[in-house]
Amino acid sequence: MYRAITFYFIQNQVNWSDTAAVKEALKNIHLEFEYDETNEGQASIYLNGENVEHLIRDMLVAEKVSEVAAIKEVREFAVAQQQQMGEKKGIVMDGRDIGTTVFPKAELKIFMTADTAIRVERRFKELYAKNKSITLQEVKENLELRDYIDSNREISPLRKAADAIILDNSQLSMEEQLQLALQWVEDAMMVQSS
């Protein structure tokens, strides 16, 4: 969601240091998630009716998303939409403040982490497929800067919720991660039903 908002701001030349401009721009943003078979069966984000899933993954958005996500009005806008989505339950949501700010009473919180070098390599592979001129160093610097900004922002900083389970996926395949998460879901459901 924050990437889509950032993309909108960039595309529409919104000056995000101007609170009035941010508030006005947010009135023109409608975000939805829809199941998308072209996105490995995952949900894709739609910005004002347009699938922007692949557009929000480029380096320009990555360089600005933490800056935009730190804006109070942007966070309030996104959190309200996320909480509205979660009212029906049965939702899986990821983000840097989901377990602490958006859904502090979630039935299950998983805090995913990985070794920095592995995270950089994974992100590099994702970005290189779209931009062959990107360097590993650029990706490393961007990831470290985003982590720093997100962990130190005043509003909803990146933190592990006290009751979150840590999933260090440094050495796990996607299938192994899924199986572990599904086991935790099953365990949480058993606790809920008892």
CATH number at residue 151: 3.40.50.300
pLDDT tops 70 at residue 28: yes
Whether residue 113 is found in the same domain as residue 190: yes
Q: Verify that 99 and 158 share a domain, yes or no.
A: yes
Work out the mean pLDDT of the chain and round it to a whole number: 91
For 68, residues 6+ apart whose C-beta sits below 8 A from its C-beta are 2, 5, 6, 9, 16, 74
**76 and 10, same structural domain?**
yes
pLDDT at 96: 85
Same-domain pairing of 45 and 121: no
Q: 62-120 pLDDT, tens per residue?
A: 999 999 999 999 999 999 988 988 887 778 888 888 999 999 999 999 999 999 999 99
Q: Check residue 41 and give its pLDDT.
A: 64
pLDDT tens digit sequence for 135-149: 999 999 999 999 999
What share of the chain has pLDDT > 70, as a percent?
A: 97
Full domain range(s) for residue 194: 92-194
Contact (CB, 8 A) for 170 and 115: yes
Same domain, 113 and 179: yes
